[in-house]
Every structure is written in C-alpha cells, then in structure tokens.
Amino acid sequence: MLTRIGKYKITLLLIDMGVMTASYVAALLERFHHVAGANLLMGLMLAAFGAFILQNNSLYKVNIFLDRSASSALVVRSVLLLLAAYLAVGFITRFYFIPPSRLGFFYFAANVLASFVVYRIILLPSVFGTLSSQGIRKHKVVVIGTGPLAREFAASVKENKRLGIHIVGFVDDELPVGTGVLNGYHVIGDTLSLNSIVRTGSCDELVIAADHTSNTHLLALMRQAKETGARVKVVSNFFKTVGDATVTESYTIHPAATITRGLYSPITLFYQRISDYVLASLGLLVLSPFFLIAAVAIKATSKGPVFYRHKRVGKDGKSFEMYKFRSMYVNGGEDEKRKQMMLEFINGQGNGNGDGKVIDASRVTPVGRVLRKTSFDELPQLLNVLKGEMSLVGPRPVLPYEFEAMKDWHHERDKILPGCTGFWQVYGRGKTTFDDMVIMDIYMIENMSPWLYIQLLLKTVTVLLLGRGAK
C-alpha cells in the first residue's frame, strides 16, 4: 500500500510529523525545562492530526507544494487549524495532557509556524526542484497511450524538470514496439506487457493518457493498470469534473487523478466497516431525542408512517430496504412524474433540479422541507449501516428502475457498499449531471483511504449545518 503513495510523500509526512512534534517538545522545554511522557504522547497525537490537516489542504500534492504562492496560504491555514486543535484539546481535557500555559501555547505557535515557513515554503520547493532537475530524484513513468494527449503530457513533463519525471516510454496496443512517438521516446510494449514492465522495475508509475476512447475502455485500462501493483494516474478529461470541484494533483494542465485499490483493498474495507459500526451506533444514541421530535412532527402534520421504506439497489446489484424519515405526502403508487424526471436525468436530458437530486417538489410536506433542507430525513439510514447494507461513505443507492437505466460503465459504482454520504454530496452538489455524479463516485472509490473517509465525513457535517445543496 505504501508503495502506491510515493516515497517522497511518505518522506514529507514523516518530516512534517517530526517538525510538529519537535515544535511542541521545544515549547515545553522553553517554558517548563522538562517534558513528561504524557506530554510527549500528546505531541505525537497533535502531529498526527496536523498531518491530516496538511493532507486535507492538498499539501502533499506536488503541484501545490512546489508552488510557493499556492502553498503559503495553505500552510498558514493548516497551522491555525492545528493551534485551534491544541486549544480545543486543552479545554476538553481541562489541560490535563496539555500544560495550562499561555506562554507555552505562544512558544508552540511560534515554533511550528517558523519551522513550516522555513521548511515548507522556503526550502522544500528549492530542494525538491534541484534534486529533480539534476536527476538525483528520478521518477520513472510509463505512459499508456500514444495520442495527442499522451504526447502533450510527455512534452510538458519533459520541459518541467522540477517534477523529476523521466518518461521511460509509451505503451500502445496498435503500434509495434520501437515505433517513435515523440522526441526520441518509443513504444516499449502493449498493455499485455504492463506486468513485466512493472515487475522488472522499469517504472515507478503508470500514467494513462488515452484520449478519444470510450469510458468503458478507459475503466478497463484502469483495472488492468492497477493489477500490476504500480502507482497509477489517469490524465484525462474523464476526471475533469473532479478537478473542477476540488484540488487534484497535476503534472500538466490536466488533472492527474490517482488510482489506487481504494475500497477494493481488504485493509480499507476492514477499517471502514469497523468505523461505520462504531460511528453509526454513537450517532443513533446521540440523535435519538431528535428522532423522537421529528417523528412527532411528521405524524402531527400529515397522514402516513413516520419512516419511508423503499427498495434500493446496492452492492453487486443486491436489493435492500432503505430507511428515511417520510418527507412527502403519501402516494398510493409509484411516483411516475419523479420516475420520468429521473430517467431523463440519467440519459442527460434533465438537470435534476440543478443539484443532481431529482424530486417532485409538489409532494414535499412542510415538515419534509425542513428535514430535506438539513438532510435530517436521511439519518435513519444509520440503521442500514448497522445492518451492513450501507456504509457511512460510498455511492448513493439507486432505485431499481434507475439501476436498469444506467449505462454499463455506470455500474462500476456498484462494486462496493452504497453510502449515506460521498464525494458528490460534499463537492458536487448543485452543479452536476448524472455522468458527473458517477465519475465522482468512481474517483472516491479508487482513492478511498482512512484519510478520505474522515475528510468526507467532516465535510459532510459542514454541508448539513449550512444546508447547502439540499432539496
């Protein structure tokens, strides 16, 4: 798993944690002239949380940390969040683990800010760029594809020597081995030879830059590249929506979406299931009084049950009953208007009320409008999480007729458990087509990790509190 991240990113992570831990220890020595074991443990915990903040602010992406103007504001914001966490932990624990000293806090703030300004903003871009330009840090890449996009990618990274990318060659199923492609670069094999290319250590990373290809074929290339065990990136307009919605790593003007095992990884699946169970249990316990209030309001204002149970299609096309608070007036049969709107949306003929969430607004009750605005109507799905039918994070489950209407490549999202929230709910609300939603789901699946899992949950809380994009 670590080999898929990249040695330089692991190195940066360890240095960052070392800098933050050392800043905390130095602050205690400056103030109290000694450090207790509990204080050192707290320093390591703060450093781990600080690394999460840096990752959340995209500071491990090469195009960000090499750009001083882009990284400066992000570094300052990360330090401020770390200091806020320092104070929050102090107040919550009554300063049991963190000494109650204003001077100690200011020492820590000064140490960590000064260290990051010198290391992250001043030194890192120069040192990384110099090592790369002189070939000391060489990142060997094989490009899959030989079209205009692949040639543009190769030309761009060759010109930008600070990236340290060395193009080993191209892989193509149409051109024979040895065919010249660009500036002395040649075809070194076809896609069937990818395993041997990676196994012999000829490259550190595979970059898929295949243009003018179908989404189905592109997804097949992604699966084939992942099976080699190498780090894989996709340089394609396929992930343009993701690049427009959030900060992505980029070697050129095109976003380079990272493709890993994501939710196909047994380790990630195990971590996510344990986290789902614990967090869903806590959520139901804390929210139970609010559930009672919602139930009373629903029964008092409209006829019908409190909960709305509807058949949905989840992992591997298996059906299950999903729970929601009822937010609409009871309709004796299938909502034909909503069904027609959704089928048009899937086929690219509608806009889903502008946010990818297709509803018949005339059927929403007054209480339902409040529930839907805050997405509180979705919270009973925590029961589905406990039953193992859903995860807290994953693609949204679809109705049976939606499942049948989806294109073949859309079903890539069906290979993992559906979720209560996901990448689209955080980054895409209010501006996506159905294809865009699926692409965001695929990106989330391919990049899922404990970092992204926590990040999406925290950002979802912000979305819910602001009521952004809900209907």
Task: Output the six-digit token pair for 432.
Answer: 């996506």
Helix (H, G, I), strand (E, B), or coil: what is residue 250? strand
Three-state DSSP class for 249? coil
Which CATH superfamily includes the segment(s) 139-259?
NAD(P)-binding Rossmann-like Domain (3.40.50.720)
Q: Side-chain half-sphere of 118: how many Cα atoms within 13 Å?
A: 8
CB proximity list for 213: less than 8 A, separation 6 or greater: 221
Q: Is 384 helix (H, G, I), strand (E, B) or coil?
A: helix
Which residues pair with residue 231 across a beta bridge?
205
Pairwise CA distance, residues 458 & 10, whole Å: 24
Residue pLDDT tens, the chain, 471 long: 445 567 888 899 999 999 999 999 999 999 988 887 877 888 899 999 999 999 989 899 988 999 999 899 999 999 999 999 989 888 887 777 787 888 989 999 999 999 999 999 999 999 999 998 888 888 899 999 999 999 999 998 888 888 888 899 999 999 999 999 888 889 999 999 999 999 887 788 999 998 888 888 889 999 899 888 888 999 887 887 787 777 778 888 777 888 876 666 778 888 899 999 999 999 999 999 999 999 999 999 988 899 999 899 999 999 999 999 999 888 765 567 778 888 888 887 655 544 456 666 778 899 988 998 888 999 999 999 999 999 999 999 999 999 999 999 999 999 889 999 988 888 875 556 888 889 889 888 888 888 888 889 988 887 776 655 455
Residue 466: is it exposed, middle or buried by C-beta count within 10 angstroms (0-12/13-18/19+)? exposed
Q: What residues does each domain of the chain span? A: 2-133, 139-259, 266-466
SS3 47: helix
Q: Are strands 205-208 and 419-421 parallel, antiparallel or unpaired?
A: unpaired
Which tokens in the block code for residue 267? 């380790």
- pTM (two decimals): 0.81
Find how far residue 456's CA is from the centre of its chain: 7
Structure tokens at 162: 């600070």
Residue 304, Ramachandran bin (φ over 0: left; ψ between -120 and 50: alpha; else beta): left
Residue indicated by tokens 């299931």: 273
